[in-house]
Structure formats: C-alpha cells, structure tokens
Amino acid sequence: MSASGTPGEARAGAPETAENGPAIVLVEPQLGENIGMVARAMANFGLADLRLVTPRDGWPNEKARAAASSADHVIEAVRVFSDLASAVGDLNFVLATTARSREIPKAVFGPREAVREIRNRQGEGQAAGILFGRERWGLTNEEIGYADAIVTFPVNPRFASLNIAQSALLMSYEWLQAGLAEGELPTRFAIPVNDTTPAPKAELVGLMEHLESALEPTGYFRTPEKKPVLIRNLRAILQRPGFTTMEIRALRGVLSAFQGRKARPDEGDDG
C-alpha cells in the first residue's frame, strides 16, 4: 500500500463529521474536479473518510481542492492507495455502487436500505465503505467482487447514468438522513422556535389603552354611551390570541405609525 495524507482529526474550524461514517472509496478517478465535488458532497452530509485508488492525475490535486469548495478537512485527510485490496483492507463490510446488471450473486440494495445495513453493522463495531467506479465505465466485475453487496439507484432506466459526485452525494445524504429522528434537522439548520409565552397582563393592558387612545380622535366610539361596550368588545378580541411580548411591541409600533409619531422606547416598533 502507498498512501499520502493521514486519516487524523479534521483541522480546527471544520464542520462536525458523522461518527463512524463509512469510507468513500473512489476507484481510479480520472478528474480532479470530480474528486473535489465528492469531497464537497461528503462534507455537506458529515462524512470525512475519502480514499482514492490510483487517481489518474496523481495526488495532491489542486483542481480537486478548488472544486471541494472549502471542504478542506476532507481533502487534507485523503488517503491514496495503489490497489483496491489495500483500500478496503481494514473494512468489514463493503458496498459497490453500480447501475448495470451483472451476473454476480450478491444482494442488491437501494441507497436507503444500504445505509441502514451500514448503520446496523457499524452498531456492531464493523467498519464499512462504499465503492464508486471510474467516470467512464464504473467498476469491473473483479472490483465488485470485493464488495459484500451492490447498491443500485432508482433512476430513470432510459437515462440511468450518474457521475461519481452525484452518486456520492445521494449516498451521503441517505447516510445522514438515516441517523435523524422523524422530522429532525441537523442542529445547524434547525429553524429556531420563537418564544410563545403570553405577555404579562400589564403589557396587554398597555396595548389596550394605546389602541383606545389611538381610536379616540377618529370618532370610532361615536357616542359616549356606546364607548364602554365597544371598549369591552375590543379588549375581548385582544385578549383572545395570547399575544407574546414581541407581538404586543409590534402592534404598538403599528398604532404609533398610524398616529404619525415614532414609538416610545417601551412600545417597540417591530416584531
């Protein structure tokens, strides 16, 4: 085996990687740009162990680094091997990606089933990897022989060809997705939940009084006799939603705008 780079920890500031994620093994990749795009796809979904088997243009490759779009922690940890046997030598379970039908007696998974199998095996302490073939003709039968099972993507049979970056992205996505609870998003991308605690009653009363003062000069209350009933109805309407502090401040800002003046500091002017 000949290898360059080390599988050490990602450099400072690199995104977190999926714990025990599978190795991504590219067999004789031809273009540095494709290697870089694979690295970027891996980084997008938390994978970091990228292995290359005799890349055509050698390694390191500046075109790969440029195409990786700052996924430097993946690029810097790349390991290069002189043959496939060495690249998968430390793995217990290997999948081969291919779209072509072959007379090889191996189990065939879709990508979702495949990553579930990987996670199950890694839960038992097994190291796993996924093989991707050359840009022009994929993996040979001999190379697929190193795999325990095959992964085939559910694509349009009339246009079934995927490049290695697309294939790696699909598998990386399924890997991350399989580790999330139903409806969960990675923490970095989770939509923040606003505080929905109802505002203190004093703030609600302030809104009611502000609305009354804003309506007074408009003639809304019509006659002094009707004013108490109209105020009571308005207060009932304002009480119902359970406005938060931020919502009350936003509403008071709107009232101030209609009154043609800036909101007081305690009223607020936005949400």
Residues 6+ apart with CB under 8 A from 97: 130, 131, 132, 133, 139, 150, 151, 152, 153, 167, 171
**Do residues 114 and 238 both lie within one domain?**
no
Q: Is residue 195 part of a domain?
A: no
Task: State in Å, rounded, how far the first CA of the chain is from the last one.
Answer: 61
User: How large is the average pLDDT for residues 226-246?
Assistant: 89
pLDDT value of position 222: 84
> What total of structural domains would you count in the chain?
2
Across 49-63, 101-115, 186-200, 227-241, least confident range: 186-200
Q: Is residue 181 part of a domain?
A: yes
CA-CA distance, 21 to 1, in Å (whole number)?
Answer: 23
85 by DSSP, 3-state: which? helix
In the predicted structure, residue 23 carries a pLDDT above the cut 60: yes
CA-CA distance, 110 to 127, in Å (whole number)?
Answer: 20
Tell me how many helices (H) and strands (E) the chain has: 10, 7
133 by DSSP, 3-state: which? coil
Per-residue pLDDT band at 224 (split at 50, 70, 90): confident
**Do residues 114 and 219 both lie within one domain?**
no
Across 14-28, 53-67, 176-190, least confident range: 176-190
**Do residues 66 and 176 both lie within one domain?**
yes
User: Could you tell me the residue range of the domain that residue 232 belongs to?
Assistant: 201-258
Out of 189, 215, 247, a domain closes at 189
Phi, psi of 126 (to 5 degrees): -90, 140
- Segment holding 254, helix H or strand E: helix 245-258
Residue 68, number of CB atoms within 10 A of its CB: 26
